[in-house]
Amino acid sequence: MKLFLASYRLGGAGTALARLVPAPRHAVVIANAADAWPAAARAWAVRSEIEMLATIGITARELDLREHIGDPGGVREILDRSSLVWLRGGNTFVLRSRLAQSGADSIITDLVRSGSIVYGGYSAGATIAAPSLEGIEWCDDPAEVVQECGIPAAWSGLGLVPFRIVPHYRSPGHENPERIEALAQHYARAGIDFRALPDSEVIVIDD
């Protein structure tokens, strides 16, 4: 199982991601965490990820899960041709719901656990790898799910790692630092296993 979990983009560790991804280094970018953003901002979000991955030798295109609602077969076909699935930041709950609506959640977890694809992502794309999203509502609004996806928010993560992730921890310039600090303290008080991840650090798992 190969995972690259970052707080913000590549976290200064692009070479580590490049080493994880086997040739021919084809990736899909899932940007559905940004579905509630204005169209121009969402389009920029996709483009910036594709351009960023190109700088480390990875060719990418978008897999927009809105086009595959109820179409797990189509999602599987695309992922089977990919070396890396890259999930960018935004609203974790919206991302989780899009993964469920398309069936990508179970497909991705199966492919990652079997070693057939590398999982990479940051912020929402990293936090969703945990077993649960409890506490993430301190930073992301679950109400956006009903507005954007038309279904209630789901609170289960993908369970690719046994711990929670608190992104943007004590990272200069990030909005709402007090909420992030409070979330880390909440997990600590509750005895929940977690990793507080600054924007300059990444978690790399290579089994």
Q: What is the pLDDT along the chain (207 residues), one digit of tens a residue?
A: 999 999 999 999 999 999 999 999 999 999 999 999 999 999 999 999 999 999 999 999 999 999 999 999 999 999 999 999 999 999 999 999 999 999 999 999 999 999 999 999 999 999 999 999 999 999 999 999 999 999 999 999 999 999 999 999 999 888 789 999 999 999 999 999 999 999 999 999 998
At residue 47, the 3 state secondary structure works out as helix
Structure confidence at residue 79 (pLDDT): 98
Give the CATH fold of the 2-206 domain. Answer: Rossmann fold (3.40.50)
Dist CA 71 CA 79 (whole Å): 13
- Residue ranges of the domains in the chain? 2-206
Distance between CA atoms of residues 130 and 166, nearest Å: 10
Distance CA 126, CA 8 (A): 9
Question: What is the model's pTM?
Answer: 0.96
